[in-house]
Amino acid sequence: MKFIKITDLKGKYINRVNINNKMAKEKEEYKTFNNVFDQITIRTLERLMSKKIIEGLDRPLFMGKEANVFTAKTKEGKTVAVKIYRISICDFRTMYRYIRTDPRFTGLQQNRIKIINAWAQREYRNLMKAREAGVKVPMPIAFLNNILVMEYIEDDGPARKIKDKSAKDMKKFFEQVITNMKLLYKKAKLVHADLSSFNILNYQDKPVFIDMSQATTIEDPNAMEYLERDIHNMCVFFKKYRIIADPIDIKKKIISH
Ligand SMILES: Nc1ncnc2c1ncn2[C@@H]1O[C@H](COP(=O)(O)OP(=O)(O)O)[C@@H](O)[C@H]1O
Ligand SMILES: [Mg+2]
């Protein structure tokens, strides 16, 4: 029998046996487990394990509103990041609004499970396209239903977000962000659409874009609006470091040859 071996955020050990044990149902750990792992997620994790993509989960990195991120080990002992979209709490109507204008997902039904699975698949595809275009993003490894497995960005522990750890040279970092946005737009033909200081990791003083599930193709009728919002977010964030940039100039730089 396979177990999903994990600990909760406090480092307390939780495993599959607990959910089959009636006694444990009363306990706090059961509640934590149940909140994060519904039956579909457990079955999907088991399939990822039987496909030898991961060997169980290691520890939680992040517990969010829409997704939880864990570390896991591959057969070769490499650490990877596993992003699990929450089936129960997800605001799937907002997700639907964001995905239905993406030409790659036309005809998607407004069905909770289908939307959430499409969301994980979309993030995988976006990461792949971004990667091929030379944008610094985690390498996607696999997706199945609501779960995405990708390269773990670590730098003496998990890489920190730029909002929490500034780079030595923020001006240079900003320029690299713009270069990545341009590569994403011109080569991958995508806009991130949720770019903020929360979704850029500072990896050895260089930006790594994450959280690409909202990224859409430049043919999406809302793409320009999202690009302008991303640029605005970047200009506002970097202004704190006295980096003054004109959003109109930045946009020209990104979309021109
Ligand atoms: N590949 C990764 N490597 C290291 N840390 C990651 C990775 N992916 C996500 N994280 C961590 O998990 C957090 C949440 O991931 P994110 O994709 O932004 O999910 P959400 O949609 O919930 O914001 C990130 O802010 C980051 O700290
Ligand atoms: Mg995020």
188-221, pLDDT tens digit by residue? 999 999 999 999 999 999 999 999 999 999 999 9
The residue with tokens 């909140």 is 35
Per domain, the residue ranges of the chain are 1-83, 160-255
Atom of ligand 1 nearest to the CA of 151: 1
Q: Residue 61's closest CA among 9, 12, 14, 10?
A: 9
Residue 54 confidence (pLDDT) above 90 = yes
Q: Residue 57's closest CA among 40, 35, 82, 39?
A: 82
Separation CA 159–CA 232 (nearest Å):
24
Q: Residue 67's closest CA among 199, 205, 242?
A: 199
Number of separate helices (H) and strands (E) present in the chain: 8, 12
Separation CA 252–CA 257 (nearest Å):
9
pLDDT score of 250:
98
Separation CA 252–CA 255 (nearest Å):
5
Atom of ligand 1 nearest to the CA of 154: 4
pLDDT tier at 56 (50, 70, 90 boundaries)? confident
Is residue 211 part of the annotated active site? The answer reads yes
CA of 40 to the centre of ligand 1 (A): 22
- String of DSSP letters for 71-120: EEE-TTS-EEEEEEE-SSS--HHHHHHHHTTSGGGTT--S-HHHHHHHHH
Task: Express each pLDDT in 20-32 by its tens digit.
Answer: 344 444 455 555 5
Q: Residue 208's closest CA among 255, 254, 151?
A: 151
Residue 13 confidence (pLDDT) above 80 = no
Provide the 3-class DSSP secondary structure of residue 19: helix
Structure letter (DSSP) for residue 60? E
Domain 160-255: homologous superfamily in CATH:
Transferase(Phosphotransferase) domain 1 (1.10.510.10)
Helix 112-132 vs helix 92-99: crossing angle, to nearest 10:
50
> Which of 54, 70, 80, 83 most suits a substitution to test ligand 1, by most atoms within 8 Å of the C-beta?
83
Contact 191, 120 (CB under 8 A): no
Task: Express each pLDDT in 58-109 by its tens digit.
Answer: 888 998 888 999 999 998 999 999 999 998 876 888 999 999 999 999 999 9
* Nearest-5° Cα angle at 61, 122 to 209: 45
Mean pLDDT of 243-250: 97
pLDDT score of 15:
52
Nearest-CA residue for ligand 1 atom 17 is 211
Nearest-CA residue for ligand 1 atom 18 is 211
Q: Which residues line ligand 1 (CB under 6 A)?
A: 61-62, 64, 66-67, 69, 81, 83, 138, 150-153, 158-159, 161, 199, 210-211
